[in-house]
Amino acid sequence: MKKRYLISPGPTPVPEDVLLEMARPVIHHRTPQFSEIFRECSEGLKRLFKTEQTVMTLASSGTGAMEASVTNLFSPGETVLVVNGGKFGERWGKIAEAYGLAVEWLNVEWGQAVTVERVAEALDKNSAISAVLTQGSETSTTVAHPIEAIAKLTKDTDRLLIVDGITCVGVVDTPMDEWGIDVLLTGSQKALMLPPGLAFIALSEKAWKKREISKLPRFYFDLKKEASNVVKDTSAYTPAASLISGFRKALEIMFDEGLDNVYQRHDTLARAVRAGCSSMGLKALAPDSPANSATGIFVPDGVDGGKLVKDLRDNYGVTFAGGQDHLKGKIIRIAHLGYFDSFDMIVAMSAIEMGLAKAGVADIAGKGVAAAEAILNERY
């Protein structure tokens, strides 16, 4: 027997009550029973996004909502500014290019956040840029980008700010309307304590107006069609009904805790993991602007990070994420978003200590755990 722990930044663990909800018999989606569930989810999403706008639920992974942002809001040949500080920033650019947009790449060193000055400079230099596409939290590098400040640059202009909030919504407060975010989107399998398969997206009034003049083709992800169904408590096509039933329960759990407490919990867990890793002598990938969703750390010289992640997963039963591209084998990413509490972080610290000790790192036992405990005790 091996007990398994999932501590990766997506997918993340799902609470037992949510799993049980999804195990119930499938109900037909064109019924008052399902409409009631769907309505509660749509209302919960507005509270979560802090918006008056309709939040749409799509049957896709998060990337589907990214693609929907592009196909619904732009016309071929338009220029967009893409903040490219990791795999997901790169994805924004690839989607935009796939649909014939001209991408201005704002490349950011992996592990760093984009600065608002660089965004301002790029916007000043090229008046053709009609939107900024960025992540709230770049999960591949565990960096948080300064969304509130970037929003000030676009808010009172014709430009749109499109935020992939997949590891940001439900982790840190991201008030869409107050900050002036034009598109905010997320996915089910990160902070929202659900399996993969759902994406959520909302558009500002400014974005809805842009939708009217955008010419890219679209069908399944026609957000106008989707929004007109959401207000009738239904969806354009067959919804992922079981996931949506689970989502109602997940939202209930989040609202019972209280959103501010959810954000506080993420902050405490993140600080505990950072302190633990630092006490183990491990260098942070994103020391200056760390995200509260996950923490990336470099493995010590001489340790193969890929082997470590595999050993921890296959032999110890603890799944973390490794690095991608040039960070492959060099980093390990510890998640703290979604259904995580203090003792999950103790498992994380202990597993890394044990794995590194086995890999030959001396004098590490107990160091991460002790430093993390000191911070986690703030919760009690």
Ligand X SMILES: *Cc1c(COP(=O)(O)O)cnc(C)c1O
Q: Does 236 bind ligand X (CB under 6 A)?
A: no
Cβ–Cβ under 8 Å, residues 317 and 4: yes
Using the minimum distance from each CB to ligand X, give the nearer residue, 91 or 367: 91
Q: Which residues contact 62 (CB under 8 A, 6 or more apart)?
A: 164, 166, 185, 186, 187, 189, 190, 199
Residues 3-42 that bind ligand X (CB under 6 A): 10
Distance CA(98)–CA(352), nearest Å, equals 40
Residue 28 has a CB neighbour count (10 Å cut-off) of: 9
Identity of the residue, 10 or 276, whose beta carbon is nearer to ligand X in the bound complex:
10
44 binds ligand X (CB under 6 A): no
Nearest to 159 by CA among 49, 81, 52, 66: 81
Contact pattern from residue 61 through residue 100 relative to ligand X, giving x for each residue in contact according to CB under 6 A and a dash for the rest: xxx------------------------x------------
CB-based burial, 330-358: b 16+ in 10 Å, e otherwise: bbbbbbbbbbbebebbbbbbbbbbbbbee
Q: Taking the complex as a whole, how short is the minimal distance between the CB of residue 64 and ligand X, in angstroms?
A: 7
- Looking at 262-359, which runs of residues are DSSP E strands? 294-298, 318-319, 331-335
The span of 12-20, 102-110, 161-169, 315-323 binding ligand X (CB under 6 A) equals 161-169
Distance CA 373, CA 349 (A): 10
**Of 167 and 342, which has the nearer Cβ to ligand X?**
167
Tokens encoding 330? 């060099």
| Choices 163-171, 224-232, 275-283, 316-324; region in contact with ligand X by CB under 6 A | 163-171
Shortest Cβ 18–ligand X spacing (Å): 18
Find where tokens 């909800």 sit: 21
Q: Which of 187, 290, 296, 338 binds ligand X (CB under 6 A)?
A: 187
Angle among Cα 339, 347, 6 to the nearest 5 degrees reads 45
To ligand X, the closest distance from the beta carbon of 166 in angstroms equals 4
Q: Where do we find the tokens 């160091």? A: 367
Which two tokens mark 303? 């340790």
Should residue 290 be labelled a site residue for ligand X when binding is judged by CB under 6 A?
A: no
In the region spanning residues 189 to 208, those forming contacts with ligand X, defined by CB under 6 A, are 190
Work out whether 186 is an interface residue with ligand X (CB under 6 A): no
With DSSP H G I counted as helix, E B as strand and the rest as coil, what are the percentages for the chain, rounded to 5? Answer: 45, 15, 40
Quote the CA–CA distance of 59 and 192 in Å, as a whole number: 15
CB of 37 to ligand X, least distance (A): 22
Q: Which of 167, 235, 279, 295 binds ligand X (CB under 6 A)?
A: 167
- Nearer residue to ligand X within complex by CB, 10 or 323: 10
Among 57, 69, 139, 350, binds ligand X (CB under 6 A): 139
Q: 37, 150, 166, 198: which one contacts ligand X (CB under 6 A)? A: 166
Among 71, 134, 135, 268, binds ligand X (CB under 6 A): 135
112 in contact with ligand X (CB under 6 A): no
Q: How many binding residues for ligand X (CB under 6 A)?
A: 12
Q: Which residue, 163 or 227, has its beta carbon nearer to ligand X?
A: 163
| Angstrom distance (rounded) from CA 302 to CA 308 | 11
Binding mask 46-65 for ligand X (x = CB under 6 A): ---------------xxx--
Q: Interface with ligand X by CB under 6 A: which residues?
A: 10, 61-63, 88, 135, 139, 164, 166-167, 187, 190
